[in-house]
């Protein structure tokens, strides 16, 4: 098995382990038999009584597992039906779906032995459908995805790793915008979404009632749309050439396409179950995409290539990382309604110890997944900035100095994550979680891995932004 396939296999095992952890927690064992577990699982539940959010989250559990298992089998581009590769890929999808079914059945039956869990055949079917969707995505685009990951990490390609990373980001952005892929197109469903406030056509409606949450949402939408503008700026004017065309008309067109693209994605969420379509989000995404396209135009407007090391010096990155960490903490602690008495602090700390993980595993909710992804995204930026400040520092002949730099970056990022989550213990409107802390640390690790890959590419001289 190749090294790349071993990576996919490891990620598939890790995702399956997370499915078990999330489905069996808090592990309060009880007696039971396999026959009783099978009877509970076989009990038919009316799909009309099934929560759409629960259905969506179970499908989302199956999609990554099916996708990764097909990559383990060696996904390749779509080939003619008479090609042996076509049949091999088809078999990989079938095997992946069968493995997803086995994992899901194991997880659901195992819930019978835990007091707060109930086996559900509907959950198994939902996860199986998610595995099928993930397998088909890998069947059609697994080779593209795998090649972009390889180009970003190793740089063994004519394409810059920076552009490969942009491709991966845009693919993830599209998938997240359309998740959980459950349409809501009937007039009754749209009317229900409108009445529940999931379709918001009035701009800045919530800014007076919940200013901090509105600021947080605006920051997230702007930050996540920035790379979309950069991607449009690069690919809309390349015509197969590298670097792209550098004309003012091109940058204006790129900004218009980027703004139109993110606004259309936001409008599409009105027709997707469990997603909220808001004018505020569309405005924030449009601002982020437009700024990203303009920034790219500014960077590529010169006649000479723009190497990273010419501007991303270690002191500048370190200052940016420190300022970003301050904003990171402020966002995590807003609206700063802290407990002001020792008794209240003790009560909140005791409450945190009792529900630190239960509040995330007590049920399935799309809001939970959205919050975790936001924490992951912000932590990735933190890890990337700290990692690049360590990677682009002045080279030293002593390996010990380099190790100390990276160790300092890791300690800095982990400390910020601990402060961000720990401070929420004493903030009245926040609910801290060990799971969210783990997601923050994972985001830091991913960000530092990106920083390492960028540093390697810059050293080889194949990273031109």
One DSSP character per residue, 392-454 reads: TSPP-S-HHHHHHHHHHHHHHHHHHHHHHHHHGGGBTT----HHHHHHHHHHHHHHHHHHHHH
DSSP 308: G
Is the distance from CB of 344 to CB of 425 less than 8 angstroms? no
Is the distance from CB of 225 to CB of 284 less than 8 angstroms? yes
The burial of 397, by beta-carbon neighbours within 10 Å (0-12 exposed, 13-18 middle, 19 or more buried), is given as: exposed
Is the distance from CB of 371 to CB of 437 less than 8 angstroms? no
- Please give the Cα distance from 292 to 290 (Å, whole number): 5
Per-residue pLDDT of the chain (465 residues; tens, 9 = 90+): 555 677 788 888 888 887 887 777 666 677 778 888 888 787 766 666 666 667 777 888 888 888 888 888 765 444 444 444 544 567 888 888 888 889 888 888 888 887 777 788 888 888 888 888 888 888 887 777 777 676 655 545 455 666 767 777 887 788 777 776 677 777 777 888 888 888 888 888 777 777 777 887 888 888 888 888 888 887 765 544 444 555 666 777 778 888 888 888 888 888 887 788 888 888 988 999 888 888 777 666 555 444 444 444 677 778 888 888 988 888 888 777 777 777 777 777 777 766 655 544 444 555 666 777 778 888 988 898 888 888 877 665 667 777 888 899 999 999 999 998 888 888 877 777 778 888 899 989 988 888 887 777 666 555 454
Residue 313 token pair: 């010096």
Encode burial over 275-312: b for 16+ CB neighbours within 10 A, e otherwise: bbbbbbbbbbbbbbbbbbbbebbeebeeeeeeebeeeb
Is the distance from CB of 284 to CB of 217 less than 8 angstroms? yes
What is the reported pLDDT for 82?
45
Please give the angle made by the CA atoms of 220, 222 and 226, to the nearest 5 degrees.
Answer: 120
Peptide linkage before 162 cis (omega within 30 of 0) = no
Q: pTM value?
A: 0.59
What is the reported pLDDT for 310?
47
Residue partners of 278: CB distance under 8 A and separation at least 6 = 199, 200, 266
- Please give the Cα distance from 339 to 335 (Å, whole number): 12
What is the reported pLDDT for 377?
82
- Please give the Cα distance from 123 to 113 (Å, whole number): 17
Is the distance from CB of 170 to CB of 151 less than 8 angstroms? no
Check residue 82 and give left, alpha or beta (phi > 0: left; psi -120 to 50: alpha): alpha
What is the reported pLDDT for 306?
46
What is the reported pLDDT for 83?
46
What is the reported pLDDT for 255?
83
The burial of 343, by beta-carbon neighbours within 10 Å (0-12 exposed, 13-18 middle, 19 or more buried), is given as: exposed
Residue 217 token pair: 């949402």
Facing residues of 272 across strands?
A: 183
Is the distance from CB of 450 to CB of 409 less than 8 angstroms? no
| Closest CA relative to residue 376, chosen from 437, 324, 432 | 437
Coil vs helix vs strand at 115 = coil
Q: What's phi and psi for 277, nearest 5 deg?
A: -100, 115
Q: What's phi and psi for 394, nearest 5 deg?
A: -55, 130
- Please give the Cα distance from 429 to 66 (Å, whole number): 38
Peptide linkage before 404 cis (omega within 30 of 0) = no
Q: What's phi and psi for 200, nearest 5 deg?
A: -120, 110
Report CA 271 to chain centroid distance, whole Å.
Answer: 22
Question: Residue 127 half-sphere exposure, CB side, CA atoms within 13 Å?
Answer: 26
Q: What's phi and psi for 431, nearest 5 deg?
A: -125, 95
- Please give the Cα distance from 240 to 159 (Å, whole number): 11
Question: Residue 397 half-sphere exposure, CB side, CA atoms within 13 Å?
Answer: 0
């Amino acid at each position: 098995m190749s090294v790349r396939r071993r990576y996919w296999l490891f990620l598939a095992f890790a995702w399956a382990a997370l499915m078990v952890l999330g489905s069996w927690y808090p592990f309060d064992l009880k007696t039971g038999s396999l026959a009783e577990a099978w009877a509970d699982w076989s009990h038919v539940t009316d799909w009309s009584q099934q929560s759409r959010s629960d259905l969506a989250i179970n499908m989302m559990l199956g999609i990554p597992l099916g996708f990764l298992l097909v990559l383990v089998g060696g996904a390749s581009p779509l080939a003619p039906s008479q090609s042996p590769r076509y049949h091999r890929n088809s078999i990989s999808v079938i095997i992946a779906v069968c493995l997803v079914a086995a994992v899901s059945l194991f997880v659901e039956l195992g819930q019978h032995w835990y007091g707060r869990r109930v086996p559900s055949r509907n959950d198994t079917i939902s996860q199986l459908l998610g595995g099928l969707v993930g397998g088909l995505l890998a069947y059609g685009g697994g080779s593209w995805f795998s090649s972009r990951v390889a180009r970003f990490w190793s740089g063994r390609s004519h394409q810059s790793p920076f552009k490969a990373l942009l491709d991966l980001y845009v693919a993830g952005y599209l998938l997240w915008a359309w998740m959980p892929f459950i349409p809501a197109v009937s007039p009754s469903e749209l009317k229900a979404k409108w009445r529940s406030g999931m379709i918001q056509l009035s701009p800045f409606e919530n800014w007076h009632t919940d200013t901090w949450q509105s600021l947080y949402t605006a920051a997230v939408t702007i930050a996540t749309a920035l790379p979309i503008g950069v991607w449009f700026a690069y690919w809309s004017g390349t015509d197969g050439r590298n670097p792209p065309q550098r004309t003012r008309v091109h940058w204006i067109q790129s900004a218009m396409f980027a703004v139109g693209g993110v606004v259309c994605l936001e409008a599409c969420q009105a027709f997707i179950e469990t997603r909220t379509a808001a004018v505020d989000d569309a405005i924030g995404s449009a601002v982020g995409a437009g700024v990203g396209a303009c920034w790219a135009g500014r960077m590529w407007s010169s006649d000479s290539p723009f190497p990273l090391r010419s501007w991303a010096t270690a002191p500048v990155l370190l200052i940016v990382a420190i300022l970003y960490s301050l904003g990171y903490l402020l966002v995590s602690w807003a609206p700063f309604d802290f407990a002001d008495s020792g008794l209240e602090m003790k009560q909140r700390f005791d409450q945190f110890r009792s529900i630190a993980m239960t509040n995330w595993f007590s049920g399935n909710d799309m809001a939970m997944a959205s919050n975790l992804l936001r924490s992951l995204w912000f932590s990735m930026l933190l890890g990337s900035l700290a990692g690049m400040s360590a990677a682009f520092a002045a080279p030293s002949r002593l390996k010990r100095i380099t190790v100390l730099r990276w160790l300092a970056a890791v300690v800095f990022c982990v400390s910020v994550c601990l402060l961000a989550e720990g401070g929420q213990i004493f903030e009245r409107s926040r609910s801290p979680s060990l799971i969210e802390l783990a997601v923050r640390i994972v985001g830091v690790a991913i960000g530092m891995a990106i920083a390492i890959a960028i540093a390697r590419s810059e050293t080889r001289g194949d990273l031109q932004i």
